[in-house]
Structure 1
Amino acid sequence: MSPQQKMLLGIGTGAAAGLAANALAAGAPWLTWVIDHITFPVGQIFLRLLFMLVIPMLFSALVMGISELDLRHLGRLGARSFGYTIVISTVAVLIGLGLVNFIRPGAGLPESLRAMAQGSVVEAAAAPADTSPVALIIAMFPDNPIKAAASGDMLAVIVFSLFFGVGLSLARTPATAHLRESIQGLYDVVTRLLDAVIALAPIGVAALLFTMTSRMGVAILVQLSAYVGTVLLGLGLHMFGVYSLSVRFFGGMSPIAFFRGSRTAILTAFSTSSSSATLPTALRVAEEDLGLPPHVSRFVLTAGAAMNQNGTALFEGVTVLFLAQLYGVDLALGQQAIVMVICVLGGIGTAGMPGGSLPVVAMILGMFGIPPEGLGLILGVDRFLDMCRTTLNVTGDLAAAVYVSRGEPHDPGDHDGQGGAGGAGGEGATAGQGITEGLAGEGV
């Protein structure tokens, strides 16, 4: 069986068995024993394996993503690409958070059922006590990165990793070359382990879904449908609203012409669920159908396949707030701001493979005391949402390339000062390809 078929089997088995147990034997002693001694422990072990990989995955992915870019020679090309990524990803998360607060897909669950949904034994990291803007900015810069990692302070870990990556990029010595290889090796090991954990997902998801549906019955499926609708609405608004405005006003291109020229890459992204697999098609589309300068499109698209993940950022924000509503955890505006920052920065460090965003989402849930077993519900519909957010990620890369290309010559040597940017684009493409090469799927 293919991985997708195994996942569907796990989803169907866990949900169907849980709903049947709830309908036929709700409250029975034997059902309580099965939940407490079999399905609940199996689901918790699966979640703990995801938690175990989150810090090394984020650190190695962020460091490699930044260090592979030659910051000394990127110039305007790199600055415009990175600035665009941060701004548009922030807009994506804001759209997602706004929709969740307006639609409230996780609200409305009866208190009796919500209490039954509790029970995670995964230790939650302490949420920041002071969520004021000044305190949040100060807390982003750790005085002890090891302590930050141990306490689950994700913002501090992300910022330290970014700084480390910048330093590794600037210090080009034989010793740092070996260090870069070691961190790349750590990234390879973590992604391989994550692949192994995701291979266990059918069992873990079946256990999580059985535990939840046997306790809560069919009511939870109503909330899940509202969640899927919210994610799809957010992705649609960002793709056809934000990207249309971006290519029109920032890139000087007609949105109709942009989407018409990008349709081959969009269809490839939806069918493969992989930015890496779509990269060759996206490069051809950018140069032949959209007419973008090759040195710009190669740099922006290759780096974007690993770092410019608007769909991932939006998905993570919606998922965290949905589960917070589902479990009755009230997140203040300051706490939602923290979620937004982590989702924006975490999108850069998410492994580009099936389930790569799960450790990030699980860690954010732990930060705010939200039971992470709710991820079992998300995994049940994640395959379809994966295809949709991958489409948004690839389209976002092409939109970024349109913006960065505006004012750039097709030949980087056409006028003074452009040769460096073109050279950096070539280096960035080669380095970025090394990061994205061989990744099995988006999953982020």
Structure 2
Amino acid sequence: MKVGNKLTIQIIIALILGIIVGSVLSPMADQSWVQWVDQYIFNLVGQLFLNMIFMMVVPVVFISIVLGVVNVGDPKMLGGIGLKTLAFYLATTAIAITIAMIVANILNPGEGQSQLLDSQEVSEYRESELEGGSTGEALQQGFDQTVINLIPTNIIEAMGTQNMLQIIAFAIFIGIAIIAGKEKSARLTALFEEANDVVMWIVMAIMKYFAAIGAFGLVATAFVQAGFGAIQQLGMYFICVLLALFIHLALVYGSVVQFIAKKSFIWFIKNFAPAMGVAFSTSSSSAVLPISLETAQDNLKIRKSISSFVQPLGATINMDGTAIMQGVATVFIAQLSGIDLTLMQMVTVVIIAVVASIGTAGVPGVGLVMLAMVLTAVGLDPAAIGIIIGIDRLLDMTRTMVNVTGDATIALVINEQQTRREEASKAEA
């Protein structure tokens, strides 16, 4: 069971219908019948689809990482792939936030809107999130604790809370142990391969029968609740984020695919479109990971040993789209506050955002947590995040799509480099 063109078209149609229906109903969102439709139809079918996908995330990640490590075969080669993957991810994240800050400084989205800092949303965010909330706890977590938390003390708890970094770490240990066992572990390897076939069949069955209706529900409820009212007030901020996302997607990923992987970017987008559509509707890199893996392996022909290692790692630490939001939001909030960020402060924003993309990977609401860290580092009030929450759900859909596309881009690059290296070795022999 594979992701085909028919399913891709169905998802795209569902997304368009969801946007149209949600936008039409948004001005009537306070009416009881619209609230009923939103809660018991749009949200119901959307959350059922999302829960079915989340149900498969942990088994897919765990089994995929184990098989990825086993298929690489050489722990030294695995280390090389891991370091190269991490370097690519950090580099693209730094480029992403730099692009975002340049766009924001050119378009000046916060000029003449200082009154937004006195809004009720700012005070509510300060009370609910910064004073004893999850964001406040995350800001207090030190680098040492972040590193310590990479290794799980209880793998069952890590799986129960979907702590992806800990699951990945445990899966790597299992994979290396299977490699060390050699012939003695052959039956265990076969068991993991059969388990992978089973979980991927379930994932693709969910996609075949529920993806379109689920995507429609998720997008429709997002537009009913957010609508375009908040966009009108924060229009320039909204445009800046979308423009920076498009530039990064087209120029950075396009160049990487075209000149490093030596593939057509149009071919890449066409074949990876199903995963991009699901990413847009779910707003979760983890939720779309099972579909992203299957699409990359079947449509982009990325070998499982590369895809199974690179993409789950990217879903946890690669946040180019999120970094773009942080860059634009930081400049936006600085302009609201009447503060001109110095060059050193802008460099600080880039560094903090890149480091935080790894350090806060397991924290719920990671984008806003990372933004709070960035704002605090340059002396801005993190409570101002409350201003952009109203439209964050809509932007989250687009930046998740960019995040997931970035994961597949790097997986394709490493796959092609590995293939060329192997071909060169055979030619020399």
1:49 equivalent in alignment to 2:52: yes
Structure 2: stretches of 5+ with no match in the other structure: 125-133, 273-294, 334-348, 370-388
1:358-398 deviation line (CA, Å, top 9, x unaligned): xxxxx864668999x98787668988997787566434543
CA distance in 1, matches of 2:405, 2:144: 38
Name 2:178's counterpart in structure 1: 168
Instruction: Give the 3 Å change call, closer, same or farther, for CA 342–160 of structure 1 in structure 2.
Output: farther
The 8 Å contact of residues 64 and 184 in structure 1, kept in 2 or not, is answered as: yes
CA distance in 2, matches of 1:409, 1:216: 55
Name 1:230's counterpart in structure 2: 244
Q: Please give the secondary structure, in 2, of the residue aligned with 1:2.
A: helix
Q: Please give the secondary structure, in 1, of the residue aligned with 2:182.
A: coil
Q: Letter of the aligned partner of 2:191 in structure 1?
A: S
Please report how far the alpha carbon of residue 63 of structure 1 lies from its aligned counterpart in structure 2 after TM superposition.
Answer: 0.6
Name 1:89's counterpart in structure 2: 89
Of 48, 65, 70, the residue aligned with 1:67 is 70
Instruction: Give the 3 Å change call, closer, same or farther, for CA 6–365 of structure 1 in structure 2.
Output: farther
1:333-379 deviation line (CA, Å, top 9, x unaligned): 87974543687xxxxxxxxxxxxxxxxxxx864668999x9878766
Q: State how 1:146-165 maps to structure 2 within 5 Å.
A: 146-165=156-175
The 8 Å contact of residues 100 and 327 in structure 2, kept in 1 or not, is answered as: no
Q: Please give the secondary structure, in 2, of the residue aligned with 1:140.
A: coil
Please report how far the alpha carbon of residue 158 of structure 1 lies from its aligned counterpart in structure 2 after TM superposition.
Answer: 1.5
Name 1:431's counterpart in structure 2: none
- Identical positions, percent: 16
Per mean C-alpha deviation after superposition, the further-off stretch among 25-34 and 79-88 is: 79-88
Instruction: Give the 3 Å change call, closer, same or farther, for CA 396–382 of structure 1 in structure 2.
Output: same
Instruction: Give the 3 Å change call, closer, same or farther, for CA 68–196 of structure 1 in structure 2.
Output: same
Instruction: Give the 3 Å change call, closer, same or farther, for CA 51–130 of structure 1 in structure 2.
Output: farther
Please report how far the alpha carbon of residue 157 of structure 1 lies from its aligned counterpart in structure 2 after TM superposition.
Answer: 1.5
Name 2:279's counterpart in structure 1: none
1:177 equivalent in alignment to 2:186: yes
Instruction: Give the 3 Å change call, closer, same or farther, for CA 219–82 of structure 1 in structure 2.
Output: same
The 8 Å contact of residues 164 and 316 in structure 2, kept in 1 or not, is answered as: no
CA distance in 1, matches of 2:188, 2:30: 56
CA distance in 1, matches of 2:138, 2:43: 29
RMSD of aligned Cα (Å): 4.9
Name 1:212's counterpart in structure 2: 222
CA distance in 1, matches of 2:211, 2:74: 39
Q: Please give the secondary structure, in 2, of the residue aligned with 1:183.
A: helix
Please report how far the alpha carbon of residue 79 of structure 1 lies from its aligned counterpart in structure 2 after TM superposition.
Answer: 4.9
Please report how far the alpha carbon of residue 134 of structure 1 lies from its aligned counterpart in structure 2 after TM superposition.
Answer: 1.1
1:144-166 deviation line (CA, Å, top 9, x unaligned): 11122223322212211111111
Q: Please give the secondary structure, in 1, of the residue aligned with 2:319.
A: helix
Instruction: Give the 3 Å change call, closer, same or farther, for CA 4–78 of structure 1 in structure 2.
Output: closer
1:309-334 deviation line (CA, Å, top 9, x unaligned): 59966995134567899999x99987
Name 2:17's counterpart in structure 1: 13
Task: Tell me how many residue pairs correspond in the alignment.
Answer: 342
Q: Letter of the aligned partner of 1:16 in structure 2?
A: I
Q: Please give the secondary structure, in 2, of the residue aligned with 1:27.
A: coil
Q: State how 1:112-127 maps to structure 2 within 5 Å.
A: none
CA distance in 2, matches of 1:29, 1:387: 38
CA distance in 1, matches of 2:84, 2:13: 41
Q: Letter of the aligned partner of 2:53 in structure 1?
A: L
Name 1:195's counterpart in structure 2: 204
CA distance in 2, matches of 1:224, 1:312: 25
Q: Letter of the aligned partner of 1:195 in structure 2?
A: M
Please report how far the alpha carbon of residue 6 of structure 1 lies from its aligned counterpart in structure 2 after TM superposition.
Answer: 1.4
1:190-221 deviation line (CA, Å, top 9, x unaligned): 22222233331221222222222223222577
Q: State how 1:324-335 maps to structure 2 within 5 Å.
A: none
Name 1:348's counterpart in structure 2: none
Instruction: Give the 3 Å change call, closer, same or farther, for CA 383–237 of structure 1 in structure 2.
Output: closer
CA distance in 1, matches of 2:413, 2:135: 35
Instruction: Give the 3 Å change call, closer, same or farther, for CA 213–79 of structure 1 in structure 2.
Output: closer
1:40 equivalent in alignment to 2:43: yes
CA distance in 1, matches of 2:121, 2:24: 17
1:25-84 deviation line (CA, Å, top 9, x unaligned): 342121122222222222222222222222111111111100122226xx6x66544432
Structure 1: stretches of 5+ with no match in the other structure: 116-123, 245-257, 283-300, 344-362, 414-444
1:280-322 deviation line (CA, Å, top 9, x unaligned): 7x9xxxxxxxxxxxxxxxxxx7744544459966995134567
1:394 equivalent in alignment to 2:412: yes
Please report how far the alpha carbon of residue 12 of structure 1 lies from its aligned counterpart in structure 2 after TM superposition.
Answer: 2.1
Name 1:272's counterpart in structure 2: 271
Q: Letter of the aligned partner of 2:165 in structure 1?
A: L
The 8 Å contact of residues 268 and 278 in structure 1, kept in 2 or not, is answered as: no
Name 2:336's counterpart in structure 1: none
CA distance in 2, matches of 1:270, 1:224: 24
Q: Please give the secondary structure, in 2, of the residue aligned with 1:171.
A: helix
Instruction: Give the 3 Å change call, closer, same or farther, for CA 224–10 of structure 1 in structure 2.
Output: farther
Instruction: Give the 3 Å change call, closer, same or farther, for CA 20–335 of structure 1 in structure 2.
Output: same
Q: Please give the secondary structure, in 2, of the residue aligned with 1:68.
A: helix
The 8 Å contact of residues 141 and 159 in structure 1, kept in 2 or not, is answered as: yes
Instruction: Give the 3 Å change call, closer, same or farther, for CA 22–29 of structure 1 in structure 2.
Output: same
Q: Letter of the aligned partner of 1:204 in structure 2?
A: G
Q: Please give the secondary structure, in 2, of the residue aligned with 1:197.
A: helix
Q: Letter of the aligned partner of 2:84 in structure 1?
A: Y
The 8 Å contact of residues 318 and 403 in structure 2, kept in 1 or not, is answered as: no
